[in-house]
Structures are given as structure tokens and as C-alpha cells.
Amino acid sequence: MTEFGYYPGCALHGTSNDYEKSLKTCLDALGVTLKEVDDWVCCGASAAHCLNHTLSVALPARNLGIAERDGHDEVVAPCPMCSMELIKARRALEADGELREKISEIVELPVTGKTEVLNAIQVFQRIGLDTIRAAVKRPLKRTRVACYYGCLLTRPPSDLQFDDFEQPHSMEEVVEALGAEAVEWNFATECCGAGMTLAREETVLELANKILTDASANRADCIVVACPMCQVNLDMKQSAVNKHFGVLHELPIYYLSDLVGLALGIDGKDLAIDRHFVVRASALMPPVEAE
């Protein structure tokens, strides 16, 4: 039984609790447990980043400190905003001894920044594509998947180096291991506008529409994401996009763990797929009650 530290962040304990359920169920089936970082605090997100530099290091550092104290060498932060803030803090701490001392005092815990921070894709990489391939019970045959990374998973590349920031491929590898077909498309790393609350409504709809359009143009059956904000934005807002632009997108937006879970034979409800807004009857999962 493999165990990782787990930093859910506010999203996975809030509007994106479907992501948590999906990830946990899926990983459980693969023999991986997530142990929640005890009494974690919010990473501060872009707000701390914009307003108070010290705070933007201290809040993530508090969590890194708890992880170190409790012996988590690797912590999974499925929300890319959280993982980016944790990684940025980690790198800053690793590089600067003075900062380490100062921050350790601020957060009331010794923190070195040695904790490895993983996103959801990396967890599947750690488990291993061969292991996943072997565990697949219901291969996602004839399913064309557009892997969507958005902005925060790979940018800024100076901090996040787990995959190529222009042409990432890590999700495609997982998806292909499930028997699905990863489509080549052009919007894998274009922003959907949700990462920042600054974006105005029309902006978000416009960006989402471009992404959905290109995925459809490349004959994708669904889009797979690893970011709760992208999921909410493309899924929940899809009807608004359709209304605003007079189009008829009907693309389910899955978390990567949803697809892995489905391929492992897990019921869609156990993966909380029924909490998604766009649910299209497909080979992927039995139809669920539409709205």
C-alpha cells in the first residue's frame, strides 16, 4: 500500500469535492492512499501572491512544515494553483537559508522545503503506466480524449518542470494507457480564464468557447483535465457558452482520475461524475440523470 501526503486545498473541500472523491476512489483501487496533511491552511492562492510576498511563502510553508513534521516526503496537491504555490515556496526556501530561518519562525515550525509536491498527473506517473495498464478492466476503446492542461499546470516553466510547457504529454500517456485515444489539438495549454478571478464573464466564455470548439473540431469525445478550476469553468459554464455564442457544445469534462477510475471498472457515481454538469451518454459511463 503506497501512501502519499495529501493537500486538498480549499477547492477540493469546496465546490470541487467531486474531484476529491474521484481521486481518492480511483487511487484506492490502485492501492494508493492519500493521508491528509493535518490541519492544513489555505495556500493563499494568487491573492497572497499579488498582495503580500512574505505571506505567499509563509502560508504554503506552514503546510510544508506540517508535512515535514509528520514525515510526508511527498505531498499530492491536486489543485494546480495550490501545487504551484507550494512548489514556489519550496524552491524559495531551498535556495535561501536566511529565508528558511525567517519563515520557520513565522510559521512556528521548522521548514526546509524538502517535501516533494506532486500534482495529480505525477501521482499516476509514480504509480506507473504499466501498473495502470495492467489494472485496466474496461479499456476506454474508441474514446477520443482531448487532454487539457490550461495554464497553471505547466506555467511558469521556471518553477514547474514536470512536463514540457509548450507541448506537454504526460496526460496523453496516462490516457493512452487506459486504451483511449489522445487527440492532437491546439488548445492544450491555452488558458480557460478561470485561473484568475479577475477574468470577466465574457472573457471566460470566449476562452472556454475556443477550447471547446477546437476540441470538437479535432473530434474529441471529451476533455480531460487535472485542474478543478478548469473543470468548473469548462463544465459548469458550458451551457452559458452555448447560450452566449449560439453553439451546441456537449463535451463532458472529466478529471484524469475519472477516466482512470472508469477504466478500472469503477462506477461513475463512485467517482462523483454525476456531480458534473455536462453528462453525455457514451461508452464511458452509463447515462445518468440529466438536468
Partner 1 sequence: MARIGVFICWCGENIARTVDVEEASERVAKIPGVRCAVNYKYMCSDPGQAMVRDKIKSEKLTGLVVASCSPHMHMRTFRAAAKAAGLNPYMVEMANIREHCSWVHPNEETTTDKAVELIRLSVAKVIRNKPLEPIRVPLTKRALVIGAGVAGIQAALDIADSGHQVILVEREPSIGGKMAGLSETFPTLDCSQCILTPRMVEAGNHPNITLHTYSEVESVEGYVGNFSVVIRKKARSVDIDKCTGCLDCVTRCPTSTSLSEFDYGLDTRKAIYVPFPQAVPARPVIDRESCSYFLRGECRTCEKVCQAGAINFKDEDRTIIEEVGAIVVATGFKLYKVEKKQDVAKYKGYGEYGYGQYKDVLDGLQFERLVSASGPTNGKIQRPSDGAVPKNVVFIACVGSRDIAKGMSYCSKICCMYTAKHTMLYKHKVHEGQAHVFYMDIRAGGKNYDEFVRRAIEKDGAKYYRGRVSKITEVNGKLIVRGADTLAGVPVTIEADMVVLATAARPAEGTQDLAQMLKIGYDEFGFLSESHPKLRPVETNTAGVYICGACQSPKDIPESVAQASAAAGKVAILFAKPELTREPEVAKIDEQVCAACYACVRACPYRAIDKADILDRNGNLVKHTARVNASLCMGCGTCVAVCPSKSADLEGFSEQQIYEVVNNLV
Partner 2 sequence: MEHAGHTNDAFAGTGVENCYQCGKCAAGCPMSEHMDIIPSRLLRLVQLGETGKAMRSNAIWYCVSCQTCTARCPQSVDCCGVMDVLRQKAVEEGVASPEQTRIVNFQRVFLDNIRRYGRLNELELTAQFKVEGFLHDRSVPLLMRDSLLAPRLLKRGKLHLQGEKVRDRGVVDRIFARCEPEKSGEAAS
Q: Would you count residue 167 as binding partner 1 (CB under 8 A)?
A: yes
Q: Which three cell numbers stand for residue 135?
A: 489494472
Residues 173-212 that bind partner 1 (CB under 8 A): 186
Q: How far is the CB of 244 from partner 2 (least distance, A)?
A: 13
**Rounded distance between C-alpha atoms, residue 265 and residue 172, angstroms:** 20
Residue among 40, 126, 119, 41 at smallest CA distance from 84: 119
Residue 217, contacted partner among partner 1, partner 2, none, CB below 5-8 A by kind: partner 1
- 60 vs 261, which CB is nearer to partner 2? 60
The minimum distance between CB 32 and partner 2, in angstroms, equals 24
The listed partner (partner 2, partner 1, none) that binds 167, CB under 5 to 8 Å by sort, is partner 1
Residue 283 backbone dihedrals phi, psi, to 5 degrees:
-65, -20
Task: Based on DSSP, count helices (H) and strands (E) in the chain, helices before strands.
Answer: 13, 8
Counting every residue written for the chain, the total comes to 291
> CB under 8 A: which stretch of 82-90, 128-136, 164-172, 193-201 binds partner 1?
164-172
Q: Say which entry of partner 2, partner 1, none residue 186 contacts (CB below 5 to 8 A, set by partner kind).
A: partner 1
Q: Which residues pair with 6 in a beta bridge?
A: 36, 76
How far is 178 from 140, CA to CA, in rounded Å? 6
**Residue number, 11 or 188, with CB nearest to partner 1:** 188
Residue from the set 50, 95, 217, 283 that interacts with partner 1 by CB under 8 A: 217
In the list partner 1, partner 2, none, the entry touching 51 (Cβ below 5 to 8 angstroms by class) is partner 2
C-alpha cell of 132? Answer: 495502470
165 belongs to the binding site for partner 1 (CB under 8 A): yes
**Which of 70, 73, 101, 166 is close enough to bind partner 1 by CB under 8 A?**
166
Q: Which residues have CB under 8 Å from 168's CB, separation 6+?
A: 147, 149, 153, 154, 188, 189
Q: Among residues 34 and 121, whose Cβ is nearest to partner 1? A: 121
Among partner 2, partner 1, none, residue 129 binds (CB under 5-8 Å by kind):
none
> Which CB, 165 or 245, lies closer to partner 1?
165
**Do the beta carbons of residue 151 and residue 189 sit within 8 Å?**
yes
CB 254 within 8 A of CB 246: no
Q: Which long-range contacts (CB under 8 A, 24 or more apart) does 127-132 make?
A: 127/2, 127/27, 127/30, 127/32, 129/173, 129/174, 129/177, 131/30, 132/30, 132/174, 132/177, 132/178, 132/260
Which residues of the chain form contacts with partner 2 (CB under 8 A)?
10, 13-18, 39-42, 44-52, 54-55, 58-59, 62, 105-108, 151-152, 154-157, 165, 189-191, 193, 195-201, 203, 207, 210, 236, 275, 277, 291
Task: Report in angstroms how near the CB of residue 166 gets to partner 1 at its nearest.
Answer: 2
**Residue number with CB closer to partner 2 (129 or 236):** 236
CB of 279 to partner 2, least distance (A): 11
Transcribe 87-138 into DSSP letters: HHHHHHHHH-HHHHHHHHHHHTS---S--EEE-HHHHHHHH-HHHHHHH-SS
Q: How many residues bind partner 1 (CB under 8 A)?
A: 6
Residues that bind partner 1 (CB under 8 A): 164-167, 186, 217
